[in-house]
């Protein structure tokens, strides 16, 4: 219906941001890119554009994913739309020295190629303002260590979808302990067969049920770590 057609450039800033939340929810990449360009042209800082339009929009997506209203296909579409917006914002954020939330190294453990959940976490973390280094699938303990040394992240994220691969997380954590590196990182684990008790038993800092929880947990733990360092 032509009555319903939305012209983004006709909207006020407040309306545009709300419309962008809807467009992220619907996974409309081109509309998101247009919205980002409009806000920047109207003098918004890249950081405000990221947090108020994209991150706030992905928070709604994350909450509905957590609550079983949205499922993986919808979230992948939304994340893809957000990536489109991020591609514009990334160089601007770097140029303006916008604050960063922290850095994460993430990967699926050895033997496991199921990376859907891991990819969602990576995208949602980027959406929340974290820098993410994605190691992909099938990571040996050596590969994790190499990336930790090279990237010096705040967080190590490990994912496993199979009961046959989840014990490998303990291999990685035990190696970190042996090398005296365990306390240098926040270790978050996730994947369908995992639970809180398992994460405690293997010595992780937290189990994250889904990508939305991963973002919330990462934010809280990074803030706590920074407070401790400043205390």
Partner 1 sequence: MTNALSKLLATRDWLLADGATGTNLFNMGLEAGEPPEFWNVDRPDNIRTLYKGAVEAGSDIFLTNTFGGNASRLKLHQAQGRVHELNRVGASIAREIADASGRQIVVAGSVGPTGEIFEPLGTLTHSAAVEMFHEQAEGLKAGGADILWVETISAPEEYRAAAEAAKLAGMAWCGTMSFDTAGRTMMGTTSADMVTMVEKLDHPPLAFGANCGVGASDLLRTMLGFAAQGSAIPLIAKGNAGIPKYHDGHIHYDGTPTLMAEYAVLARDAGVRIIGGCCGTMPDHLRAMRAALESRPTGPRPSLETISTALGGFSSTSDGTGDDANAPKRERRGKRG
The binding site for partner 1 (CB under 8 A) comprises 1, 4-6, 15, 18-19, 22-23, 25-26, 28, 31, 60, 64, 67-74, 76-77, 80, 109-116, 137-138, 140, 161-168, 170-171, 192-195, 197-198, 201-202
- In the complex, least distance from residue 10 CB atom to partner 1, rounded to whole angstroms: 12
Beta carbon of residue 53, minimum distance to partner 1 (angstroms, whole number): 14
Q: How far is the CB of 167 from partner 1 (least distance, A)?
A: 4
The minimum distance between CB 27 and partner 1, in angstroms, equals: 10
Q: Report, in Å, the least distance between residue 71 CB and partner 1.
A: 3
For partner 1, give the closer residue by CB, 76 or 92: 76
Choose among 89, 83, 90, 176: nearest CA to 127: 83
Of 115, 103, 90, 79, nearest to 190 by C-alpha is: 115
Q: Which is nearer to partner 1, 114 or 219 (CB)?
A: 114
Whether residue 213 contacts residue 66, with contact meaning beta carbons closer than 8 Å, is answered with: yes
Is the CB of 51 or the CB of 80 nearer to partner 1? 80
Q: Which is nearer to partner 1, 130 or 168 (CB)?
A: 168
């Amino acid at each position: 219906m032509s009555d319903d057609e939305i012209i983004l450039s006709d909207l006020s800033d407040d309306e545009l941001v709300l419309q962008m939340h809807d467009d992220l929810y619907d996974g409309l990449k081109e509309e998101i890119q247009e919205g980002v360009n409009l806000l920047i042209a109207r003098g918004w800082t890249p950081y405000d554009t990221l947090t108020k339009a994209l991150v706030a929009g992905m928070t709604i997506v994350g909450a509905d994913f957590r609550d079983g209203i949205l499922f993986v296909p919808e979230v992948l579409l939304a994340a893809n739309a957000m990536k489109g917006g991020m591609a514009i914002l990334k160089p601007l954020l770097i140029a303006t020295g916008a604050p960063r939330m922290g850095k994460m190294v993430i990967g699926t453990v050895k033997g496991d190629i199921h990376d859907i959940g891991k990819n969602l976490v990576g995208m949602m973390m980027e959406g929340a303002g974290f820098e993410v280094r994605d190691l992909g699938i099938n990571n040996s303990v050596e590969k994790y260590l190499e990336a930790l040394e090279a990237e010096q992240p705040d967080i190590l994220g490990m994912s496993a979808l199979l009961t046959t691969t989840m014990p490998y997380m303990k291999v990685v954590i035990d190696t970190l302990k042996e090398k005296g590196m365990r306390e240098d990182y926040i270790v978050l684990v996730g994947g369908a067969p995992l639970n809180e008790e398992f994460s405690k038993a293997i010595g992780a800092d937290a189990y994250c049920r889904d990508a939305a929880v991963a973002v919330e947990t990462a934010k809280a733990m990074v803030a706590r770590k920074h407070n401790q360092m400043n205390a």
